[in-house]
């Protein structure tokens, strides 16, 4: 069975005062039955790691450059994230694909850089609303997965996050049948490419996951956790999602 993961993506939100949410999470989940990850803005990674002080919450970045260092103003390398204390990095989020024109090839190269720096990768895929309406969801997601995931990954170094673009930050969630269809297709593709390891890789659902809908989503086959945006910013909300995943 894949390891279960509740991952929070703070996006461009949070400041030093937000670290109090981490204290509350640690207090609520001193010995969680699942893996917990928070990906704050890069400026908070080192402070967050210190604040967690060996507790059961991992910290990750939200993207990294393809190069280890160099003349890339404003960017951050995988080894910089690792040195700050990050263990994971989210790659290919739809907001990066849209805002920064990241292609599958770029994301694959970022993932290779992340693996070289010893980071675990969470690679995001997902269709737009127009693509779902045109009934090409599985082709789009399958193409992103094939193009973005590098060779040589294991269940320890790759987690896939299925995030339908139209469900992010909108309060709209696919039906459980729709989630199942895509997660089953991702699982089949991972097993086809990586064999037994593909059966152990966690597949997260992301897009408007809240404490109130988490249990229903986690009951779907091949849903091994969630990548949570808005509801990861407040410990009380994220805690409800963690508890739902522990009970799934």
Active site residue 93: yes
Binding residues for ligand 13P restricted to 6-35, rule: CB under 6 A:
9
Q: Pairing relation of β-strands 35-39 and 5-9?
A: parallel
> If binding is defined by CB under 6 A, does position 137 make contact with ligand 13P?
no
Name which of 17, 9, 1, 13 is nearest 241 in CA terms. 9
Handedness of CA 185, 161, 82, 87 (dihedral sign): negative
Residue at shortest CB range from ligand 13P: 229
Is 93 among the residues that bind ligand 13P (CB under 6 A)? yes
Q: Which of residues 37 and 149 has its CB atom nearest to ligand 13P in the complex?
A: 37
For residues 16 and 227, what is the distance between their CA atoms, to the nearest angstrom? 22
**Cα(49)–Cα(221) distance, rounded to whole angstroms?**
33
Taking the least distance from each CB to ligand 13P, the nearer of 82 and 165 is 165
Alpha-carbon distance 137 to 58, whole Å? 32
Beta carbon of residue 83, minimum distance to ligand 13P (angstroms, whole number):
24
Query: Is residue 102 flagged as an active site residue?
Result: no
Identify residues 162-221 at the interface with ligand 13P (CB under 6 A): 163, 168-169, 206-209
Contact residues for ligand 13P, defined by CB under 6 A: 9, 93, 163, 168-169, 206-209, 227-231
């Amino acid at each position: 069975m894949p390891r279960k993961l509740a991952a929070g993506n703070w996006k461009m939100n949070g400041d030093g005062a937000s670290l109090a949410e981490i204290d509350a999470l640690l207090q609520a989940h001193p010995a969680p039955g699942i893996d917990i990850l928070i990906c704050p803005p890069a400026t908070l990674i080192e402070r967050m790691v210190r604040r967690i002080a060996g507790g059961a919450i991992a910290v990750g970045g939200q993207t990294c450059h393809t190069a280890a260092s160099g003349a890339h103003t404003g960017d951050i390398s995988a080894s910089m994230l690792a040195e700050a204390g990050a263990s994971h990095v989210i790659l290919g989020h739809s907001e990066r694909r849209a805002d920064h024109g990241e292609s599958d090839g770029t994301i694959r190269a970022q993932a290779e850089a992340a693996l070289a720096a010893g980071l675990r990768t969470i690679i995001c895929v997902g269709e737009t609303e127009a693509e779902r309406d045109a009934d090409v969801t599985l082709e789009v997601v399958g193409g992103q997965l094939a193009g973005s995931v590098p060779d040589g990954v294991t269940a320890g170094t790759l987690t896939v996050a299925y995030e339908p673009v139209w469900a992010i930050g909108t309060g709209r969630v696919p039906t459980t049948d729709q989630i199942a269809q895509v997660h089953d297709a991702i699982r089949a593709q991972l097993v086809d490419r990586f064999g037994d390891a593909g059966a152990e890789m966690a597949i997260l659902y992301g897009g408007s996951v809240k404490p109130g809908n988490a249990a229903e989503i986690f009951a779907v086959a091949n849903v091994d956790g969630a990548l949570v945006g808005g509801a990861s910013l407040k410990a009380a909300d994220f805690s409800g999602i963690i508890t739902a995943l522990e009970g799934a």
